């Protein structure tokens, strides 16, 4: 029993594979001659000649290996939707299907053809899949999913399937869970501050747009049943109060900070603040690019930035030009860090702008992390995951994915959901977070609680629901730092004379809080498995000894008979 996965791949996939196993944090190495592995993954026609109990063959090319096993290819094309039991999985690269009359049992289907087969040859189980999981990772972390597939956590499902194939084959598994010890998942509350009040918008486009939406638009929404009579009256009162708001006699009803601090009382949140007012930014595509300019910047909020920091909230950059210019990015970063006193800060681009060069540009700009990867038009998984991941084309720059945005849920030209429909869509993402762990990131804008939107009640209910769950709330920086520390833990492999291996952990960083969760899956039979969870702070020798003791006990447990893969 090795607890070790061997990988054989194309040379161009090595960086992708390293990232995959930072997300699915389990012991692995590139296949070495003479070593034995519990499971081997290959994406090349050259099947490694090593001892293994489970061989997983990914790829859209049919070759002599398939022919020798009696597997007959049917079609080869670009992309598609495959089903595995009740699960739908989008494939973005090449997809090979197999004749249902091929040797082996189909467990994954693309229409009427098989996209995945499992076979049992003597003491070795084989899984043959008609796509390349690492090429899929490349697509997900560089291009992302189209909006129609946003509800599907595609990358998390790839990891889940691989884990299940290993366990169902009767092979124990070590993993550092993507969630702190004793928690089901992580929640990150974020706010993009675009306006910081209506008082700065005297007789401009923003004010007149509000007046129209709070009068004629509000009446239309009330007739459609999308606005209550009480909120219709609140809209009219807000419009009538505008002169008094502008002269300072009445509180600014768009003021976001006191409202969010009350709703999130005791919870940390991240506020992304505009660094420079009256700058729309360059290279802004789409209609009315000048409207991207804000009427405030971070220096206009000295009282609130102090209060937010005292309440253990985080201040980040709501970037303007950082997405295309490292030099301008550094200017924007310096504007925020001058207030926070921190050496760096996270960023989310205003209007979620970006291109293929943005990740490296942001890294060169000195930002701590990015949280732009999400959708304006829908909610869900642009990268197919709840996990913090390294952006392609960067050295160490991490992305905190964005999942739920208020405007995407409720704007008429986006999903335009009722609160009941929105609750169902959000609950689906919460349930997936319970299953796969990782972080669920929410974005609620500064004016969303106020007239004429009135999305604050929904947000209050959502935060209250999340409070009732077994989750850890962290700022963007806290969450990203926790995942970064998890990435720094290394499985060290010691080879034994018989070709087997011994696994230990190595970590040289600071104490990790909240604690990591070291999970050991124990296979009892081919049908079921359970696990042992051991918390570890990265430093405690006692906790680490518990982990090593559990591993030794597993080594002393006789292996069970092999069984069918699926």
SS (H, E, C) 128-196: EECCCHHHHHHHHHHCCCCHHHCCCCHHHHHHHHHHHHHHHCCCCEEEECCCCCCCCEEEEEEEEECCC
The DSSP annotation for 333-357 comes to HHHHHHHH--S---EEEGGG---TT
The DSSP annotation for 498-510 comes to TS-EEEEEE--SS
Name which of 71-75, 88-92, 316-320 the model is least confident about: 71-75
Q: Are 94 and 129 in contact (CB under 8 A)?
A: no
How many Å apart are CA 200 and CA 1, to the nearest integer? Answer: 67
Does 245 score more than 70 pLDDT? yes
What letters, b where the CB count within 10 A reaches 16 and e where it falls short, cover 479-495? bbbbbbbbbebebebeb
* Span 502-527, average pLDDT: 86
Q: Work out the burial of residue 242: count CB atoms within 10 Å of its CB; fewer than 13 is exposed, 13-18 middle, 19 or more buried.
A: buried
User: Element (H or E) spanning 465, and its range?
Assistant: helix 456-467
How many residues are given for the chain?
566
- The pTM assigned to this predicted structure is 0.95
Does 197 score more than 80 pLDDT? yes
CB atoms within 10 A of CB 435: 14
Closest CA relative to residue 150, chosen from 401, 360, 481: 401
Q: Which of the given ranges, 76-90, 314-328, 522-536, 542-556, has the highest pLDDT on average? A: 314-328
User: What is the percentage of the chain residues whose pLDDT exceeds 90?
Assistant: 83
Instruction: Spell out where 19-123 has E strands.
Output: 28-30, 36-42, 51-58, 73-84, 87-98, 105-110, 113-121
Q: Which residues contact 76 (CB under 8 A, 6 or more apart)?
A: 60, 62, 94, 95, 96, 97
The CATH H-level (homologous superfamily) assignment of domain 187-197+254-483 is: Glycoside hydrolase/deacetylase (3.20.20.370)
| Confidence class for position 1, pLDDT limits 50, 70, 90 | low
Residue ranges, CATH 3.40.50.880, the chain: 5-176
Which pair of tokens denotes residue 562?
């092999």
Q: Are 254 and 201 in contact (CB under 8 A)?
A: no
Q: What is the pLDDT of residues 255-307, one digit of tens each?
A: 999 999 999 999 999 999 999 999 999 999 888 999 999 999 999 999 999 99
Does 332 score more than 60 pLDDT? yes
Does 181 score more than 70 pLDDT? yes
* Helix (H), strand (E) counts: the chain: 16, 23
Tell me which long-range contacts 411-415 makes (C-beta under 8 A, separation of at least 24).
Answer: 414/376, 414/377, 414/378, 415/377, 415/378, 415/379
Cis peptide, bond prior to residue 452, ω within 30 of zero: yes
The DSSP annotation for 259-318 comes to HHHHHTTT---EEEE-SSTT---SS--SS-GGGG--S--GGG-HHHHHHHHHTT-EEEEE
Q: Are 513 and 537 in contact (CB under 8 A)?
A: yes
Does 557 score more than 80 pLDDT? no
Q: Which residues contact 540 (CB under 8 A, 6 or more apart)?
A: none
Residue ranges, CATH 3.20.20.370, the chain: 187-197+254-483
Segments in 28-152 forming alpha helices (H) = 64-69, 133-142
- 272 DSSP β-pair partners: 192, 316
Supply the mean pLDDT for the chain: 93
Q: What is the pLDDT of residues 36-82, one digit of tens each?
A: 899 999 999 888 888 899 999 999 998 888 988 999 999 999 999 99
- pLDDT at res. 321: 98
Helix, coil or strand: residue 492: strand
**Diameter of the chain by CA atoms?**
84
How many Å apart are CA 188 and CA 346, to the nearest integer? Answer: 13
How many Å apart are CA 516 and CA 400, to the nearest integer? Answer: 18
Instruction: Give φ, ψ of 260 to 5 degrees.
Output: -65, -40
Q: What is the pLDDT of residues 456-476, one digit of tens each?
A: 999 999 999 999 999 999 999
Q: Are 94 and 78 in contact (CB under 8 A)?
A: yes
Q: Are 431 and 406 in contact (CB under 8 A)?
A: no
* Span 385-403, average pLDDT: 97
- Topology given in CATH for the domain delimited by 5-176: Rossmann fold (3.40.50)
How many Å apart are CA 449 and CA 1, to the nearest integer? Answer: 56
Q: How far apart are the first and last CA of the chain?
A: 21
Q: How far is CA 172 from the centre of its chain?
A: 26
- pLDDT at res. 565: 35
How many Å apart are CA 347 and CA 27, to the nearest integer? Answer: 32
Which pair of tokens denotes residue 72?
């007959």
**CA neighbours within 13 Å on the CB side: how many for 449?**
26
CA dist 265 → 251, 258, 262, 308, 484 (Å)? 21, 10, 5, 12, 27
Query: What angle separates helix 229-246 from helix 216-223, to the nearest 10 degrees?
Result: 170
């Amino acid at each position: 029993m090795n607890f070790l996965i061997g990988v054989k791949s194309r040379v161009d996939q090595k960086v992708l594979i390293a990232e995959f196993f930072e997300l699915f944090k389990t012991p692995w190495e590139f296949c070495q001659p003479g070593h034995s592995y519990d499971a081997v993954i290959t994406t090349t026609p050259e099947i490694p000649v090593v001892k293994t109990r489970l061989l997983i063959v990914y790829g859209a090319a049919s070759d002599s290996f398939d022919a020798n096993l009696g597997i007959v290819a049917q079609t080869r094309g670009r992309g598609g939707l495959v089903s595995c039991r009740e699960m739908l999985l989008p494939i973005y690269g090449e997809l090979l299907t197999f004749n249902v009359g091929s040797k082996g049992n189909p467990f994954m289907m693309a229409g009427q053809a098989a996209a995945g087969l499992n076979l049992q040859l003597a003491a070795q189980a084989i899984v043959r899949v008609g796509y390349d999981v690492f090429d899929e990772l490349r697509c997900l972390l560089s291009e992302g999913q189209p909006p129609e597939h946003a509800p599907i956590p595609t990358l998390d499902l790839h990891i889940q399937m691989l884990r299940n194939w290993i366990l169902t084959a009767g092979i124990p598994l070590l993993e550092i869970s993507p969630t702190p010890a004793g928690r089901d998942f992580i929640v990150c509350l974020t706010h993009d501050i675009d306006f910081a009040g209506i008082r700065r918008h005297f007789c401009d486009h923003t004010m007149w747009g509000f007046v129209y939406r709070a009068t004629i638009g509000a009446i239309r929404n009330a007739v459609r049943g999308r606005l209550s009579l009480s909120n219709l009256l609140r809209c009219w009162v807000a419009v009538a109060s505008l002169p008094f708001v502008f002269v300072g006699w009445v509180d600014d009803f768009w003021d976001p900070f006191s409202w969010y601090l009350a709703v999130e009382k005791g919870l940390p949140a991240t506020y992304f603040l505009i660094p420079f007012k009256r700058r729309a930014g360059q290279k802004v595509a789409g209609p009315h690019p000048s409207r991207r300019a804000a009427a405030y910047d971070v220096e206009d909020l000295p009282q609130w930035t102090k209060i937010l920091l005292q309440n253990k909230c985080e201040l980040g950059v709501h970037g303007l030009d950082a997405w295309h210019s490292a030099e301008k990015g550094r200017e924007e970063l310096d504007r925020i860090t001058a207030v926070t006193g921190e050496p760096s800060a996270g960023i989310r681009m205003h209007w979620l702008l970006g291109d293929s060069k943005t990740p490296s540009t942001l890294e060169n700009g000195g930002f701590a992390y990015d949280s732009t990867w999400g959708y304006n038009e829908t909610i869900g998984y642009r990268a197919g995951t709840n996990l913090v991941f390294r952006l392609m084309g960067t050295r160490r720059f991490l992305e905190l994915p964005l999942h739920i945005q208020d405007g995407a849920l409720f704007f008429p030209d986006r999903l335009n959901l009722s609160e009941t429909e929105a609750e169902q869509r959000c609950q689906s993402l919460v349930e997936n977070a319970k299953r796969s762990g990782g972080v669920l990131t929410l974005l609620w804008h500064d004016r969303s609680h106020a007239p004429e939107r009135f999305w604050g009640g929904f947000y209050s209910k959502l935060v209250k629901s999340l409070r009732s769950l077994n989750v850890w709330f962290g700022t963007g920086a806290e969450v990203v730092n926790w995942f970064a520390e998890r990435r720094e833990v290394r499985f060290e492999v010691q080879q034994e004379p018989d070709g087997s291996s011994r696994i230990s952990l190595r970590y040289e960083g600071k104490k990790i809080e909240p604690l990591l969760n070291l999970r050991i899956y124990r296979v009892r039979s081919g049908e079921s498995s359970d696990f042992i969870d051991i918390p570890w702070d990265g430093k405690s020798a006692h906790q680490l000894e518990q982990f090593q003791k559990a591993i030794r006990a597993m080594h002393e447990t006789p292996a069970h008979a092999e069984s069918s893969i699926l």
